[in-house]
Amino acid sequence: MILGASFDTVEENKAFSDLQSFPYRLLSDAGKAVGTQYEVLRDPDDKFPDLAKRISYLIDPAGVIRMSYEVTDPPGHAEKVIEDLARLLRE
């Protein structure tokens, strides 16, 4: 299952998701509670302090984070995650 999350409101996420035709759920973390736990908040002096860092997590069915990724290459990111998932399934 793929889930996305942002600090935007539910309404903003729905509009963005509809515009981009996202094939997965985009969750609202407007209060930044989840972002705090997953350590995606930016420093206050960052160029974009109100945006979450682009981080992805590969989480197993037991809820254990198996891999984390700082997303620097959006086009190639999914391929890397799929490779890691395949490797983890073989283990």
Return averaged pLDDT per consecutive 10 residues of the chain, 91 residues in all.
92 94 92 95 95 94 93 90 92 86
CATH for 30: 3.40.30.10
Q: What is the per-residue pLDDT for 91?
A: 86
Please state the domain count of the chain: 1
- pLDDT the model gives residue 34: 95
β-bridge mates for residue 58, sequence order: 67
Decide if 40 contacts 27 (C-beta within 8 A): no
Of 64, 69, 26, 38, residue with least CA distance to 82: 69
pLDDT given for residue 29 in this prediction: 96
Where in the sequence is the domain holding 16, given as residue range(s)?
3-90
Torsion sign, CA atoms 81, 57, 69, 64 = negative
pLDDT recorded at residue 74: 85
